[in-house]
Amino acid sequence: MLELCVIFGGQSPEHEISRKSVTSVLNNLNKDKYNISTIGITKNGAWYLYTGDYAKIESGEWEQDTENKKKAILSPDAEDKAIIVFDGDKVMKIHPDVIFPVLHGEFGEDGTIQGLFELSGIPYVGMGVMASANGMDKTSSKIVFASADIPQADWVVVNKTDNFEDKMDEIENKLGYPCFVKPARTGSSVGVGKAHDRKELKAALENAAQFDRKILVEENIDGHEVECAVLGNEDVKAATVGEIMPTVEFYDFDAKYNDNSTELKIPADLPKETIEQIREYAVRAFKALDGSGLSRVDFFVKHSDGSVVLNEINTLPGFTNISMYPKLWGAVGIEYSELLDKLIELAEKRVK
């Protein structure tokens, strides 16, 4: 059996989403194929081997289950390739064949933990260090995608230390209203706001600055919100395209994870040539980042002329039971458990 280490939690504002995602992952992994060890990272950054009931993870109860958790660290020693577990006066080691990080946001999909995996010498699911870092930073990925000739919304970068009044003048002149304000390095729509006037813009900038020192402001694109799932290393495949049909003005954190009225339409009700264009752009964006493993790539299809505009890439997309990524692959015949198998195989095969 393959020794698989699944890591969840983390220090980012998306900690709770990781707990939702990993619960679905753990419940769908083939227990006949994998000997699974589970590492939980608290919001304070403490690492524990957790051997208790998976049902306690989503709620966070696992942290109080002291009988089933032990302090642990991932060793950077590439000869050892081990997770070191501390059990009282005893020290034990687990030697994973593959690490599956089910982590979202800061310290999870921004290249930091991927660097630790690289040092350890243990294969891992998902993108490498640079691809993760550039994919997480929306301002960096804008530059990468522009070089790949992929259409995007126009944007302005604001730093926390900038004079907001001057920057708001620039935003009004270049982008107009409404516009979207996003922390540069969060996911799951954490800290994102939509501004219809200068007062709302200032409030949105101040809110985003609580999550990141760098802020991305984008023009509003009036269009369908659609998403495409990508899978592969050198041989990259795109699934079909799904459309988000939220019941709120924009698809924010609550709409993604707490609002059961949000509908996902798979496949999206779009012309065949538009779906193919989205799939091609999704693969192109993935390759431009030097991607590996998986990504979900988000787009707008303009109401005015049907043209496609790239929104952003998600290098470790949500894996909850209502998440778009597994649903898109399910729509083309790859069920959840098989998808997890493929991701683990890709981790083993990834070329350095």
DSSP string, 271-323: -HHHHHHHHHHHHHHHHHTT--EEEEEEEEEETTT--EEEEEEESS---STT-
Say whether both 176 and 227 belong to one domain: no
What Rg value do the Cα atoms of the chain yield, rounded?
20
Q: How many domains does the chain have?
A: 3
Q: What is the CATH number of the domain that holds 198?
A: 3.30.1490.20
Say whether both 146 and 236 belong to one domain: yes
Say whether both 307 and 279 belong to one domain: yes
Say whether both 229 and 189 belong to one domain: no
Say whether both 143 and 96 belong to one domain: no
Q: Choose one of 167, 199, 219: the last residue of a domain.
A: 219
Q: Choose one of 219, 235, 263: the last residue of a domain.
A: 219
Say whether both 226 and 317 belong to one domain: yes
Residue 185 confidence (pLDDT): 87
Assess if residue 130 is contained within a domain: no
Give the residues of the chain that fall short of pLDDT 70: 188, 247-261, 351-352
Say whether both 184 and 212 belong to one domain: yes
Strands across the sheet containing 155-159: 155-159, 214-219, 179-183, 193-195
Range(s) of the domain holding residue 203:
155-219
Residue 252 confidence (pLDDT): 54
Residue 340 confidence (pLDDT): 98
pLDDT digits (tens, 9 = 90+) for 272-287: 999 999 999 999 999 9
Residues with Cβ within 8 Å of residue 345, at least 6 apart in sequence: none
Say whether both 212 and 246 belong to one domain: no
For residue 258, what is the enclosing H or E element? none
pLDDT digits (tens, 9 = 90+) for 64-90: 999 999 999 999 999 999 999 999 999
Residue 273 confidence (pLDDT): 97
Q: Choose one of 170, 196, 219: the last residue of a domain.
A: 219
Say whether both 207 and 261 belong to one domain: no
Residue 204 confidence (pLDDT): 97
Residue 249 confidence (pLDDT): 58
